[in-house]
DNA sequence: CCAATGTTTGGACTTTGTCTAATTTAATAC
DNA sequence: GTATTAAATTAGACAAAGTCCAAACATTGG
């Protein structure tokens, strides 16, 4: 995964490419996620975006992240019972979850694969398959 | 998975086997989960247990489920951002998650396997690896 | 019976996320 | 440009899941 240096203009283009009207708030939120290439919670994103001046409200952060997800610009990662993480990498890959620190770490696509395609219940389609490996420090 | 007909006495034994003092509330909560062999949320468990007479408080339900988890009597399944499911089956198996209904369905251990053992970050141990396949009705 | 330890409880509290109605901003037509 | 309409943002009230705490209750051993 090459480290691209994103600008806010890049974000505008990216949003347009996903049929999203690039408003100021949306650009800032996208920039927070993509410039870091990190797994962030809504909380963290809001803190980052409003760090210097107040740029967005809580409602907009949630609205926007849901919009991004619908347009497949980001992916939700659900590993922590108390908060959702947003992942700017929508390509196929899996995650380690550090249960102690709450940190999410990518697993390279080639390092882990799902073997076997189980028959889905009737009339159902698979929306995505993911592997989560929960890890923790050896000597607690 | 054979369908055993559990009694409350069985639960007491099961709890003792896991070094848990079998109190009335704990037996009822274990019975709710094991007699149904289902994936239930804390909410649902509380509703079941208190169906006829009030048997336990909310605090006890949460305390008890956490206790069960610590003693590896049940497993947490985290797929829904808004609630945790408790699974009485602690053996190796994976899940379908019906995004529309919120229903969890077991995938037989043999139908899906994780291929490859990625190197863990330094000083870390894997606590568990699970596959989640999100599914939804074909024609929405 | 008493003390000590373990368990349960109500209720206040926290956190994440949603909802709504009002306001602001942007876009379009004229 | 100005009016009209549509889209986006906002504050703040609200909801739901889960935690916390100090008080009450139960159980056990001596």
Which residues of chain A have a CB within 8 Å of the CB of B105? 121
Which residues of chain B have a CB within 8 Å of the CB of A66? none
pLDDT tens digits for chain A (140 residues)? 566 789 999 999 999 999 999 999 999 999 999 999 999 999 999 999 999 999 999 999 999 999 999 999 999 999 999 999 999 999 989 999 999 899 999 998 889 988 887 889 999 999 989 999 999 998 75
* pLDDT given at position B3: 63
Contacts of B68 (CB under 8 A, 6+ apart): B18, B20, B29, B30, B74, B86
* pLDDT given at position A115: 86
> What is the CATH class of B8-87?
mainly alpha
* pLDDT given at position B116: 83
Over residues B81-113, the pLDDT tens digits come to: 999 999 999 998 999 999 999 999 999 888 998
- The answer to whether B84 contacts A81, with C-beta atoms less than 8 Å apart, is yes
* pLDDT given at position B108: 85
Which residues of chain B have a CB within 8 Å of the CB of A104? none
Residue B36 in tokens = 């149904």
* pLDDT given at position A43: 96
Helix (H, G, I), strand (E, B) or coil at B131: strand
Of A100, A113, A94, nearest in space to B127 by CA: A100
The answer to whether B28 and B61 have CB atoms below 8 angstroms apart is no
Q: Where do the domains of chain A lie?
A: 8-87
- Burial group, residue B30, by CB count within 10 angstroms (0-12, 13-18, 19+): buried
Concatenated DSSP letters for A63-98?
Answer: HHHHHHHHTTSSEEEEEETTEEEEES--SS-EEEEE
Is beta strand A83-87 parallel, antiparallel or unpaired with respect to A40-41?
antiparallel
Across the beta sheet with A75-80, the strand order is A40-41, A83-87, A75-80
Helix (H, G, I), strand (E, B) or coil at A125: strand
* pLDDT given at position B140: 56
Over residues B43-88, the pLDDT tens digits come to: 999 999 999 999 999 999 999 999 999 999 999 999 999 999 999 9
* pLDDT given at position A1: 57
* pLDDT given at position A117: 79
The secondary structure element, H or E, covering residue B125 is: strand B124-137
Residue B118 has pLDDT above 90, yes or no: no
* pLDDT given at position A2: 61
**Total Cβ atoms within 10 A of residue A84:** 17
Residue B136 has pLDDT above 80, yes or no: yes
Residue B50 CB lies within 7 Å of the nucleic strand C = no
B105 touches chain A (CB under 8 A): yes
- The answer to whether B135 contacts A124, with C-beta atoms less than 8 Å apart, is yes
Q: CA A15 → CA A8, A23, A55, A66, distances in Å?
A: 11, 9, 18, 14
**Total Cβ atoms within 10 A of residue A79:** 21
Q: Count of CB contacts below 8 A, A vs B?
A: 121
Is beta strand A94-98 parallel, antiparallel or unpaired with respect to A124-137?
parallel
């Amino acid at each position: 995964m090459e480290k691209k240096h994103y600008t806010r203009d890049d974000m505008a283009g990216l949003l347009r490419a996903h049929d999203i009207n690039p408003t100021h708030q949306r650009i800032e939120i996208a920039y927070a996620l993509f410039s870091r290439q990190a797994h962030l919670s809504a909380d963290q994103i809001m803190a980052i975006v409003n760090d210097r001046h107040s740029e967005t409200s809580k409602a907009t952060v949630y609205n926007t992240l849901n919009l991004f997800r619908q347009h497949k610009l980001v992916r939700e990662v659900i590993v922590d019972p108390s908060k959702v993480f947003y992942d700017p990498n929508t390509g196929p890959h899996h995650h380690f979850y550090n249960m102690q620190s709450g940190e999410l770490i990518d697993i390279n696509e080639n390092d882990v694969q799902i073997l076997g395609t189980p028959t889905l219940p009737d009339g159902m389609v698979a929306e995505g398959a993911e592997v989560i490996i929960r890890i923790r420090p050896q000597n607690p």
